[in-house]
Amino acid sequence: MQVPASPSLTPAQERTLALLRRSDEPLVFSESLVNELREEMTEALTQFHSRLGDTTLFISKGRLSNVHGCEGKFLAPDEFRWTAAIAKGQVAHKAIQQMMNWRGEPTPSELVDDAIARLVDDDRDLGRWVAGLSNGDEADLRGRAIEHVNKFVETFPPLDPRSNPATESSSRWPVEGPIVFSSRADLVMGKPEGRESRKLIIDLKTGWVSPLHREDLRFYALIETLVRDVPPRKLATFYLDSAHAMVEDVTEGLLRSALRRTLDGVHAIIELQVEGREPVLRPGTHCRWCTLRDECPASEADKSHDSGDQGDG
């Protein structure tokens, strides 16, 4: 990871840079490993396709996390609603994307205002929600997003254009078929040189640390490998509230583990959605957001277990 030479870095920025910096030793994964991963995925997909009938599956990190969590929640009706607390991340990511390509030195408030205006012009679900906000609700969203961007600017090293930074970087594999895997990373830096791995994949988070965050990035690393034949070198979850990055080196074991978790997730999704298997209820912090919480016996058991005094997030 490169940073511009001119500005001095804060201690938080120096700490982040030290964690993300590429080592002097080149990282090169064997071509045979990539071929083995792709062959195993392709063989598994062929078997899955025979069980799907007319069903098609779009597999994202969220669907994998849900099915590996509580299968009852995975099958529950989706009653998602946009709120300022949820939408702030999308607005801030758009603002950071604009910052990377903006001429001059815009303020976080200018970037957020521009991001909100662009979202309003977008006819997708989030854009329609933002367009319908009252002045007070828009001010709430704006304030939350500005805080998000401020924390990024203050704690993340300045991004050098030579590092090829890209936000909301998406990948899909395979190009067609009844099952497609999709990833969308908050921030990607670097690019391979030949077979040498130089890419860094980063997710930006607020709130508490979750083991799922690492699993999400491992899934991203697997899809990156299948799409571009060269695995990334590092994965990092950057927690803006604590100015701390949790970094993991990409290894052969990590990629094989991600492949197994992904295939196990697809197998479970087909069993539940296509073949009608009864879901396994697994209580946890996700019960707080489940539409079935009030009537689920597993959720009641979870509440009686911890008496509501503390969570695991």
Taking only the tens place, the pLDDT of each residue in 96-122 is: 888 888 888 899 999 999 999 999 988
Phi, psi for 275 (deg, rounded to 5): -95, -5
pTM to 2 decimal places: 0.88
> Taking the chain, what is the end-to-end CA distance rounded to the nearest angstrom?
31
Taking only the tens place, the pLDDT of each residue in 125-156 is: 899 999 999 999 999 999 999 999 999 999 88
Written as six digits, the tokens of 265 are: 């997730």
What is the pLDDT, as a whole number, of residue 300? 54
Q: Is the pLDDT of residue 308 over 50?
A: no
Report the candidate in 201, 204, 199 with the shortest Cα–Cα distance to residue 218: 201
Taking only the tens place, the pLDDT of each residue in 244-265 is: 899 999 999 999 999 999 999 9
Q: Is the pLDDT of residue 313 over 50?
A: no
What rounded mean pLDDT belongs to the chain? 89
Phi, psi for 160 (deg, rounded to 5): -85, 130
